[in-house]
Amino acid sequence: MSAGLVKKGYNEIAKRYSMQRDRYKNNKYLDRLIVLLKPGASILDIGCGAGIPIDKYLFDKGFGITGIDISEKQIELARKNLPTCNFQVKDMSDMSEGEYHVDAVVSFYAIFHIPREKHLDLFKKISTFLPNGGYLLVTMGSSEWEGSEAFHGTTMWWSHYNAEKNEKIIKRAGFKIIQNKIDNSGGEKHQIVLAKKE
């Protein structure tokens, strides 16, 4: 039920959401990641949406981008926005161990759309996409909650633990935390974690 609701919701609001998406100012977090990466490094964006602003910002800095998203409409927009990048329609829950080989993984406002019981397994899979010393930059929920609410004119579903438990999950998956911050931009609270695969 949750995956179907998320896919339906983002398909319905694809254009509207991507136009409003930039109210969350994440460049300072992206810049913190960028200085750690080699020029031309490869990055996987999980829940990439329409490819703007996150992927465009990284692409403009010279990085190779692969993006996945559950929403066909979002991927359609991403391919128009960044035609030379690789975008795929895929549910992050369906990714396989070792399916991707990249230098960094980013995921903004996406992981909390899958059941929180799956978050540890997801981070363990992400670890297999990265070399030792590879990087992870993700946003997570800042407090414990699960349910659906009105969202940009549709119904959306979320599932997340609190910030402390999120940090423990990421560490258990084999990452060392570099930065752990609660961000209040856009009038919402999100946990932002930058980590390195040990």
Residue 1 has what pLDDT? 41
- Residue 86 is given by DSSP the state E
Give pLDDT tens digits for 23-82.
557 899 999 999 999 999 999 999 999 999 999 999 999 999 999 998 898 899 999 999
Average pLDDT of the segment spanning 4-25: 54
The chain-wide mean pLDDT, for the chain, equals 87
Over residues 84-131, the pLDDT tens digits come to 999 999 999 999 999 999 999 999 988 987 888 999 999 999 999 999
pLDDT at 26: 87
User: Structure pTM?
Assistant: 0.88
Q: Which of 72-86, 151-165, 171-185 has the lowest mean pLDDT?
A: 151-165
| 18-25, long-range: CB < 8 A, 24+ apart | 18/49, 18/50, 18/52, 18/74, 18/77, 20/152, 21/49, 21/50, 21/52, 21/53, 22/52, 22/53, 23/185, 23/186, 24/108, 24/109, 24/183, 24/185, 24/186, 24/188, 24/190, 25/185, 25/186
Domains of the chain: 2-197 (3.40.50.150)
Higher pLDDT pick, 189 / 193:
193
What confidence tier does 3 reach under pLDDT thresholds 50, 70, 90?
A: low
Confidence label for 175 from pLDDT (cuts 50, 70 and 90): very high
Q: Is 51 helix (H, G, I), strand (E, B) or coil?
A: coil
- Name the pLDDT band for 147 (thresholds 50, 70, 90): low
Cα torsion 49, 14, 162, 88 to 10°: value is -30
Tokens representing residue 17 in the block: 């959401």
Assess contact for 113 and 82: CB atoms under 8 A: no
Residue 156: pLDDT band (50, 70, 90) is low
d(CA 176, CA 196) in angstroms, rounded, equals 5
